[in-house]
């Protein structure tokens, strides 16, 4: 019922639909990118919701997603490395768009929170999300050992 | 002479390890301070302990990856 | 019983269940209202015991017995997995070759591992204050360890993960929960009753009586259980191979 | 507006869950399940249940995909070995 939740609704309606479409259809290389995109988008949405509901403790949910979301993408990158080597992912532009959106949301929420430990927590969450998302897309693009766990 | 150098090596290794753990401990303790909402004595004690666990884990992980 | 009779029985039971559920739905409070008979009572009780997170108060105080059942289910499931996925006589272990992960990914894994571990333990410790608790934090902490497999290889993970110790931790966490419950009986009240400790100051770490201790027990149990579970799956997927047909000892 | 937010997240969950049921290949299903976990976490947060959202995130984002993909790898490796010996 305020600007924060309205922004979250719009972002989830647009980005969420794109992520679901991307992950449910098409070749594997697009699906993994869409999976990474979904977490990169959900994290700022959760920060917006925490701010919109005025519940600072909801930031913990975004923090856990910022840590575990990229780990999930790394799982796919690691265990699907063989398939992804033959057919490396494309469409990483969308990931950059989501990262820019994350950065903008973190900046806006920080400005609304004001200086203090709460702001540093938001910045840490944002830094983890952005670096995690970029590293995960790097890992998808031939960043993992090709043979998987080949034996000696 | 050689014994002295090995002793020195052991000492420098120990100091490096101590430095690594202490650096991680400081970073993680600050992170704990950022995460919590109310600061009191119990929080500080628990934060220091948990940060130490994290620091030891960080060094163990780095060594496990480095030694091959 | 013939197939026909069985189908009729199933249809009858299904129709009865559907009718009961429908009748129950008619009596439910409206969607999204801020008044609920159970909610009001639960919140009143949790505030009386100075637990800021009412969900934790329900899970680890008012209905702590249910949580014991859930924890035991996880324990039994992991036990079953350990038995099912053990290395059998016609299988052998093959060491995987060292893997070469891109340097930024490896660096990210090494930096994120302690951070995720700290966040997991933070979530466990603050279950009585903010969203989270033993289960959530335990899973986060266990996942953090496996960054070593994702960012390097299985050998690196094996170096920092003595599975035996985690099995002991799993059992210790489960028994700690039971011991805390029995302590209530010995103190003269009831099993898992929250009367052992003072309730403390609202919204501080030491509030809520036994809730933080039960959270810690569950956190330990869940973290160790997840590590053991994943260890069995990783062993099977990465190391354990069947011996070639006809040879008892494969000499690879 | 809050109703709108609930409607959007509910639709996301419904669409992803349908896609997860429709996927035949376990690998692709694991990908859809990971997204379903995130969508469910959003729905729980919107319905003011952050504890459940945290549980869903903890289990659904990394642990479940890892278990699923490890099982797939084991099955594939066995298939490959069988193919070699025959």
Angle at A58 between CA C173 and CA C137, to 5 degrees: 15
Confidence (pLDDT) at B68: 45
Q: How confident is the model at residue D21 (pLDDT cuts 50, 70, 90)?
A: very high
Confidence (pLDDT) at C39: 87
Distance, in Å, from the CA atom of C82 to the CA atom of C64, rounded to the nearest integer, reads: 27
The pLDDT tens digits for C72-109 are 999 999 999 999 998 888 888 888 878 888 899 999 99
State mean pLDDT over A19-40. Answer: 92
**C24 in a domain, yes or no?**
no
The total of structural domains in chain A comes to 1
Domain that holds residue A79: 11-140
Q: Which residue of A has its CA nearest to B31?
A: A121
At A149 the three-state DSSP class reads coil
Which is it for the CA torsion A106, A112, A113, A114, positive or negative? Answer: positive
Question: In this complex, is the C-beta atom of B64 within 8 Å of any C-beta atom belonging to chain C?
Answer: yes
Burial code of A61-82, b = ≥16 C-beta within 10 A, e = fewer? bbbbbbbbbbbbbbbbbbbbbe
User: Which two structure tokens, joined as six digits, stand for A74?
Assistant: 């790394």
pLDDT at A149 exceeding the cut of 80 = no
pLDDT at D86 exceeding the cut of 80 = no
The total of structural domains in chain C comes to 1
Distance, in Å, from the CA atom of A65 to the CA atom of C109, rounded to the nearest integer, reads: 16
User: Which two structure tokens, joined as six digits, stand for B52?
Assistant: 């130490």
Q: Which residue of D has its CA nearest to A3?
A: D1
pLDDT at A152 exceeding the cut of 60 = no
For chain D, the domains span 2-85
Report the candidate in A137, A42, D66 with the shortest Cα–Cα distance to residue C139. Answer: D66
Q: How confident is the model at residue D85 (pLDDT cuts 50, 70, 90)?
A: low
Q: Which residue of B has its CA nearest to A116?
A: B34
Which H or E run contains C91? strand C91-93
**A4 in a domain, yes or no?**
no
Distance, in Å, from the CA atom of D38 to the CA atom of C236, rounded to the nearest integer, reads: 28
- Cα A7 to chain centroid, rounded: 17
D59 with C242: Cβ contact below 8 A? no
Confidence (pLDDT) at C251: 41
State mean pLDDT over D3-9. Answer: 93
- Cα D84 to chain centroid, rounded: 33
Residue C112 burial class via C-beta count within 10 angstroms: exposed 0-12, middle 13-18, buried 19 and up? buried
Domain that holds residue C212: 37-86+97-242
Confidence (pLDDT) at C245: 61
User: Which two structure tokens, joined as six digits, stand for D43?
Assistant: 């729905």
Confidence (pLDDT) at A148: 64
Residue A59: partners with Cβ closer than 8 Å, 6 or more residues away: A46, A47, A50, A118, A121, A122, A125
Q: Which residue of A has its CA nearest to C103?
A: A143
The pLDDT tens digits for A43-58 are 999 999 999 999 999 9
Distance, in Å, from the CA atom of C159 to the CA atom of A141, rounded to the nearest integer, reads: 28
Which residue from B32, B67, B68 is facing C118, i.e. has the nearest CB? B32
Distance, in Å, from the CA atom of A80 to the CA atom of A36, rounded to the nearest integer, reads: 14
Confidence (pLDDT) at D2: 83
Task: Name the region of C50 (left: φ>0; alpha: ψ -120 to 50; beta: rest).
Answer: left
Confidence (pLDDT) at C249: 45
B in contact with D (at least 3 C-beta pairs within 8 A): no
User: Which two structure tokens, joined as six digits, stand for A124?
Assistant: 């840490």
State mean pLDDT over A66-92. Answer: 88
Distance, in Å, from the CA atom of C123 to the CA atom of C105, rounded to the nearest integer, reads: 26
Which residue from C121, C159, C206 is facing B64, i.e. has the nearest CB? C159
Low-confidence ranges of chain C (pLDDT < 70): 245-252
| Chain B residues closer than 8 Å to A66 by CB | none
User: Which two structure tokens, joined as six digits, stand for D66?
Assistant: 């890892």
More confident residue, C244 or A104: A104
**C26 in a domain, yes or no?**
no
The pLDDT tens digits for B10-62 are 999 899 999 999 999 999 999 999 999 889 999 999 999 999 999 999 999 99
CA distance B11 to chain C (A): 24
Residue B53, number of CB atoms within 10 A of its CB: 16
More confident residue, B68 or A58: A58
The reported pTM is 0.92
Residue C157: partners with Cβ closer than 8 Å, 6 or more residues away: B64, C145, C146, C148, C149, C234
Confidence (pLDDT) at C177: 95
Residue C137 burial class via C-beta count within 10 angstroms: exposed 0-12, middle 13-18, buried 19 and up? buried
A in contact with D (at least 3 C-beta pairs within 8 A): yes
Residue D20: partners with Cβ closer than 8 Å, 6 or more residues away: D29, D32, D33, D36
User: Which two structure tokens, joined as six digits, stand for C117?
Assistant: 């571990």
Confidence (pLDDT) at C121: 96
Mutate to test the interface with B, among A64, A116, A118, A120 (most CBs of B within 10 A): A120
**What is the average pLDDT score of chain D?**
91
Distance, in Å, from the CA atom of D20 to the CA atom of D12, rounded to the nearest integer, reads: 12
At C197 the three-state DSSP class reads coil
- Given a contact cutoff of 8 angstroms between Cβ atoms, the answer to whether C237 and D77 are in contact is yes
D42 with A45: Cβ contact below 8 A? yes
Q: Which chains touch D (3 or more CB pairs under 8 A)?
A: A, C
Give percent of chain A with pLDDT exceeding 70: 95
Confidence (pLDDT) at D84: 64
**A149 in a domain, yes or no?**
no
Q: Which residue of C has its CA nearest to B43?
A: C205
Residue C70: partners with Cβ closer than 8 Å, 6 or more residues away: none
Indicate the DSSP class of residue C242.
E
Which residue from B54, B55, B64 is facing C156, i.e. has the nearest CB? B64
The pLDDT tens digits for A109-143 are 999 998 999 999 999 999 999 999 999 998 988 77
- Cα A117 to chain centroid, rounded: 24
Angle at A22 between CA A17 and CA A28, to 5 degrees: 160
Residue C243, number of CB atoms within 10 A of its CB: 15
At B51 the three-state DSSP class reads helix
Strand partners, A151: C96
């Amino acid at each position: 019922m305020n600007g924060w939740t309205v922004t979250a609704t719009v972002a989830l309606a647009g980005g969420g639909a794109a992520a679901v479409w991307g992950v449910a259809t098409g070749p594997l290389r697009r699906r993994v990118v869409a999976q990474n995109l979904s977490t990169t988008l959900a994290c700022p949405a959760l920060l917006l919701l925490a701010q919109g509901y005025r519940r600072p403790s909801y930031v913990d949910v975004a923090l856990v997603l910022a840590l575990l979301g990229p780990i999930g993408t790394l799982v796919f990158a690691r265990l699907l490395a063989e398939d992804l080597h033959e057919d490396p992912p494309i469409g990483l532009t969308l990931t950059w768009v989501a990262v820019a959106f994350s950065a903008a949301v973190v900046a806006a929420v920080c400005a609304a929170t004001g200086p203090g430990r709460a702001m540093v927590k938001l910045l840490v969450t944002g830094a983890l999300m952005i670096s995690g998302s970029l590293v995960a897309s790097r890992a998808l693009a031939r960043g993992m050992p090709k043979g998987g766990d080949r034996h000696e | 002479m050689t014994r002295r150098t090995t002793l020195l090596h052991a000492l420098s290794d120990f100091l490096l390890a101590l430095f690594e753990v202490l650096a991680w401990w400081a970073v993680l303790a600050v992170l704990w301070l950022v995460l919590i909402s109310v600061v009191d004595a119990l929080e500080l004690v628990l934060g220091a302990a948990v940060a130490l666990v994290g620091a030891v884990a960080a060094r163990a992980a780095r060594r496990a990856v480095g030694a091959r | 019983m013939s197939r026909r009779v069985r189908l009729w029985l199933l249809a009858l039971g299904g129709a009865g269940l559907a009718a009961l559920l429908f009748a129950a739905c008619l009596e439910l409070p409206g969607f999204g209202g801020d008044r609920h008979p159970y909610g009001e009572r639960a919140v009143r009780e949790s505030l009386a015991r100075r637990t800021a997170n009412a969900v934790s108060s329900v899970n680890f105080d008012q209905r702590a017995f249910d949580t014991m059942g859930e924890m035991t289910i996880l324990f039994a499931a992991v036990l079953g997995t350990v038995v099912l996925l053990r290395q059998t006589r016609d299988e052998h272990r093959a060491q995987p070759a060292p893997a070469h992960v891109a340097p930024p990914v490896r660096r990210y894994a090494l930096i994120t591992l302690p951070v995720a571990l700290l966040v997991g333990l933070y979530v466990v410790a603050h279950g009585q204050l903010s969203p989270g608790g033993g289960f959530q934090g335990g899973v986060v902490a266990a996942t953090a360890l496996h960054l070593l497999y994702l960012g390097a290889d299985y050998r690196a993970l094996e170096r920092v993960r003595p599975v035996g110790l985690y099995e002991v931790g799993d059992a210790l966490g489960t028994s700690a929960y039971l011991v805390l419950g029995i302590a209530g009986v010995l103190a003269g009240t009831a099993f898992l009753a929250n009367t052992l400790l003072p309730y403390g100051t609202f919204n501080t770490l030491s509030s809520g009586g036994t809730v933080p201790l039960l959270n810690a027990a569950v956190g330990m149990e869940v973290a160790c259980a997840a590590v053991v579970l994943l260890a069995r799956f990783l062993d099977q997927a990465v190391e354990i191979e069947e011996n070639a047909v006809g040879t008892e000892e494969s000499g690879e | 507006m809050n109703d709108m937010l609930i409607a959007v997240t509910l639709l996301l969950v419904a669409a992803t869950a349908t896609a997860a049921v429709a996927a035949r290949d376990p690998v692709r299903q694991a990908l859809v399940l990971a997204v379903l976990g995130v969508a469910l976490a959003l729905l729980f947060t919107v319905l003011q249940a952050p504890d459940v959202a945290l549980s869903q995130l903890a289990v659904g984002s990394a642990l479940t995909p890892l278990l699923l993909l490890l099982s797939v790898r084991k099955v594939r490796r066995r298939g490959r070995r069988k193919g070699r010996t025959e």
